[in-house]
Amino acid sequence: MSVDSKPLIEIRDLSIGFTNRAQQLLPILRNIDLTVHAGETVGLVGESGSGKSTLALAMMGYLGNPLKVLAGSTSFRDQSTFDLSARELEQIRGGELALIPQNAGQALTPTLRIGRQISEALELHSKVDEASRPARVIELLTQVRLPDPAALVRRYPHELSGGQQQRVAVAMALAGEPDALLLDEPTTGLDVTTQAHVLELLRDLARETGTAMVYVSHDLGAIARVCDRVVVMYAGEIVLDGSVRQVLLKPVHPYARALLASIPKLRDASLPAALDGRPPAPGDAGIGCAFVKRCAMAEDRCATERPMLQATKAGERVRCHFHEKVAQLAAPGPGQAVERSTLAQAPDVLALDDIAISYTSPGILDQILGRQASDTPTVDDISIVIRKGETLGLVGESGSGKSTILKAIAGLIPTCNGSITFNGDELLKASVDQRGKDQLRSIQLIFQNPDDSLNPRQTVAEILAQPLRLYFGLSGQELHDRSVEILERVRLGGHYLERLPSQLSGGEKQRVAVARAFIAEPELVLCDEVTSALDVSVQAAVLELLNRLQRELGTTYVFVSHDLAVVRALADRVALLYQGRLCEIGPAAQVYGLPSHPYTEVLLGAVLEPDPDTAPVLSADDVVELSPIARGCPFQRRCPRRVGDVCDTETPPWQQAIGKHAIRCHIPLDELQQMQTGLA
């Protein structure tokens, strides 16, 4: 891509903020200087509160309700965006400058058909005449690799899957033949494999059409795949701007460095380094460097003097007083290794035997019509044994049943077959109502979203008091002391007792959830995607916390996640689920190595590492699974290594590989190994 001398988008000293109820002026963006040339793909990276989405929308001249421009300007093709009239803005938006939104499902109008919505974009921004529009719509849908476009145009948004909706959003943006695309976290919420496909599409489009792209994301892996240039934002400022190789491989800003170090990597079986603290709230950045409170290299000057964006010899821009020192540091090494306990002698804590769970039960009308419960259960044939002190990772995409299994262990969902044994010989009753207090205490559940799993009307003290009262009958001073003790264990401290969840950050809330689980002194802790709703740097801190608690207390974990790198960091053994059935189970090192079940292969291939030199391997098509589940092997419809009819008709047998590693496939393991090694 040749870089034009005249910038397409030019932002000069832009500051945007709002006035709060107390009449204070709070900035969201401060002194942004940024240019984007034609054909460039720029990644805008930051965590929550960095202001990256606000910046992207500002490029389109759009400010959310309370926001206003405090200083500076942004222009598109030399025209100051905020000075344009409504008509002029309408012409540019969706035309030369188009947005691909974050949650396409919400961003498409529910009452209009897909074809109509894309047609609208053509009507407004292209010269295609009315008669030729339907054909052009089909062309666009084909360009974004959607199957059966002719049928798709008549559908409504809610009839499409997440991945399909996202592609439609891309097609809609392309309709106006834009010079620049703004992408606001376009792959959030999509499955790992779908995400990889959508990103490939975006990358190819950028190459083919020469469109400039501004890609906003917190996911450095996605950015590594699509962008040439990366801009890192922190607390409303640009702190680093360089080529993708410079920023991701040799970052010269302490925040960028710490951020990269906190991302779990597939190759490292180690815990990423946690970054303490949280970004300052708008208006709290102080007079010095915004990162000073969390920076390992901070000196006195950093607290009193705000660094300016400087150019480095390598052509980057960085906002740090000591960036040269940072440049001297070695590349961030692997994090601390997780101590694996000697598991061979440990007794069994949990044994799942032939568990099946079915979600759908017949309603009244169905019962009148004589229909039975579905023949194909949501989850089937699950047999797993978990030892004391180990961490079992349960991995799968959406629809894999991993959370369902966890909830069944917790007793929230009934099983329709099989049994669960606890601590060797106790039978775990299916429902919470039937379990004894001791069993209830020993098994604790931590949820994904801390906003939802803490009662907004209860203080931290009350949240912690509940299990103490229920399981130990504590009250008064004893209760208070135990609560303070657990809060200190999770590195929060007693002064958090009087706070309400709304007064805590995401990471703090999740720590409270962890504290609540551990205050019951459980033997088994079930973690349901506990890091997925958190910022990357906060994730690392929670993982470190979980690991430390396990070391100190010998707790057993069942850790559910869709993120393979996170599971790699924490788990001793890993089980993979597809459509509610086990595909592969074994020690982490073996499962992540070869041979692999074909699904594991696909998943691992689709993982995006924050490394521009790696590329995902897309072996399976991005196809939406139909229900009911296929007979025979559940993966038959997408399997790149399908051997024939046997996959369609017979359930694959369990095959044992070395080291207690089992794979469920029709292909003999040594053949599988050879095929997979040949490719790798």
Least distance to other proteins from the beta carbon of 318, Å? Answer: 25
Least distance to other proteins from the beta carbon of 526, Å? Answer: 9
Residue 680: beta bridge partners? Answer: none
**Does a cis peptide bond (omega within 30 degrees of 0) precede residue 652?**
no
Torsion of CA 188, 190, 194, 197, to 10 degrees: -10
Residue 391: beta bridge partners? Answer: 557
Distance of CA 292 to the CA centre of its chain: 27
Cβ proximity to other proteins: between 241 and 622 the closer is 622
CA angle centred on 530, ends 529 and 534, rounded to 5°: 105
Least distance to other proteins from the beta carbon of 450, Å? Answer: 9
Cβ proximity to other proteins: between 412 and 427 the closer is 412
Least distance to other proteins from the beta carbon of 416, Å? Answer: 18
Cβ proximity to other proteins: between 131 and 365 the closer is 365
Least distance to other proteins from the beta carbon of 445, Å? Answer: 5
Q: Helix or strand or coil: residue 559?
A: strand
Is residue 161 near other proteins by the rule CB under 8 A?
A: yes
Q: Are 51 and 70 in contact (CB under 8 A)?
A: no
Residue 428 one-letter amino acid: L
Contacts of other proteins in 392-421 (CB under 8 A): 398-399, 407, 410-412
Cβ proximity to other proteins: between 247 and 517 the closer is 517
Is residue 587 near other proteins by the rule CB under 8 A?
A: no
Least distance to other proteins from the beta carbon of 159, Å? Answer: 5
Cβ proximity to other proteins: between 108 and 355 the closer is 108
In which residue are the tokens 């030892």 written? 387
Cβ proximity to other proteins: between 265 and 435 the closer is 435
Cβ proximity to other proteins: between 561 and 590 the closer is 561
Cβ proximity to other proteins: between 336 and 627 the closer is 627
In which residue are the tokens 């041979």 written? 595
Is residue 541 near other proteins by the rule CB under 8 A?
A: yes
Q: Are 87 and 65 in contact (CB under 8 A)?
A: no
Least distance to other proteins from the beta carbon of 506, Å? Answer: 13
Cβ proximity to other proteins: between 106 and 677 the closer is 106
If 0-12 CB within 10 Å is exposed, 13-18 middle and 19+ buried, where does residue 318 land? buried
Is residue 536 near other proteins by the rule CB under 8 A?
A: no
> Pattern 260-279, binding to other proteins, x per CB under 8 A?
----------------xxx-
Separation between Cα atoms, residue 41 and residue 612, nearest integer Å = 13
- DSSP symbol at 274: P
Separation between Cα atoms, residue 609 and residue 266, nearest integer Å = 8
| CA neighbor of 403 nearest in space, from 220, 562, 590 | 562
Q: How many CB atoms lie within 10 A of CB 342?
A: 7
Least distance to other proteins from the beta carbon of 34, Å? Answer: 19
In which residue are the tokens 């205050």 written? 519
Tokens, residue 65: 């309700």
Contacts of other proteins in 194-253 (CB under 8 A): none
Contacts of other proteins in 506-535 (CB under 8 A): 507-508, 511, 516, 520
Among 315, 424, 493, 554, binds other proteins (CB under 8 A): 493
Contacts of other proteins in 69-128 (CB under 8 A): 86-87, 89-95, 98-99, 101, 103, 106-112, 120-121, 124-125
Contacting residues for 106 by C-beta, under 8 A, at least 6 apart? none
Is residue 603 near other proteins by the rule CB under 8 A?
A: no
Is residue 60 near other proteins by the rule CB under 8 A?
A: yes
Q: Are 164 and 624 in contact (CB under 8 A)?
A: yes
Contacts of other proteins in 430-489 (CB under 8 A): 432, 435, 437, 440-441, 444-445, 447-449, 452-459, 462, 466-467, 470
Q: Are 517 and 446 in contact (CB under 8 A)?
A: yes
Is residue 673 near other proteins by the rule CB under 8 A?
A: no
Least distance to other proteins from the beta carbon of 293, Å? Answer: 7
Least distance to other proteins from the beta carbon of 278, Å? Answer: 7
Among 11, 16, 57, 198, binds other proteins (CB under 8 A): 57
Among 2, 158, 208, 653, binds other proteins (CB under 8 A): 158
| CA neighbor of 512 nearest in space, from 535, 537, 489, 529 | 489
| Main-chain phi, psi angles of 12, to 5 degrees | -120, 115
Cβ proximity to other proteins: between 316 and 544 the closer is 544
Cβ proximity to other proteins: between 270 and 449 the closer is 449
Among 305, 498, 650, 671, binds other proteins (CB under 8 A): 498
- DSSP symbol at 469: I
Tokens, residue 235: 């607390």
Only one of the segments 56-64, 334-342, 376-384, 643-651 lies at the binding site for other proteins (rule: CB under 8 A); that segment is 56-64
Separation between Cα atoms, residue 163 and residue 169, nearest integer Å = 10
Total residues at interface with other proteins (CB under 8 A): 88
What 3 state SS string does 463-480 have? HHHHHHHHHHCCCHHHHH
Q: Helix or strand or coil: residue 11?
A: strand
Which uninterrupted H or E stretch holds 678?
Answer: helix 669-679
| Main-chain phi, psi angles of 321, to 5 degrees | -70, -30
Tokens, residue 585: 């189970």
Polymer length in residues for the chain: 680
Q: Are 597 and 603 in contact (CB under 8 A)?
A: no
Q: Helix or strand or coil: residue 336?
A: strand
Separation between Cα atoms, residue 146 and residue 604, nearest integer Å = 24
Least distance to other proteins from the beta carbon of 90, Å? Answer: 4
Q: Are 183 and 52 in contact (CB under 8 A)?
A: no
Least distance to other proteins from the beta carbon of 299, Å? Answer: 19
Least distance to other proteins from the beta carbon of 222, Å? Answer: 20
Q: How many CB atoms lie within 10 A of CB 671?
A: 13
Least distance to other proteins from the beta carbon of 409, Å? Answer: 10
Least distance to other proteins from the beta carbon of 387, Å? Answer: 23
Among 12, 203, 429, 499, binds other proteins (CB under 8 A): 499
Among 145, 491, 548, 637, binds other proteins (CB under 8 A): 491
Contacts of other proteins in 331-390 (CB under 8 A): 364-365
Only one of the segments 244-252, 345-353, 590-598, 620-628 lies at the binding site for other proteins (rule: CB under 8 A); that segment is 620-628
Contacts of other proteins in 309-328 (CB under 8 A): none
Is residue 48 near other proteins by the rule CB under 8 A?
A: no
Among 35, 67, 77, 156, binds other proteins (CB under 8 A): 156
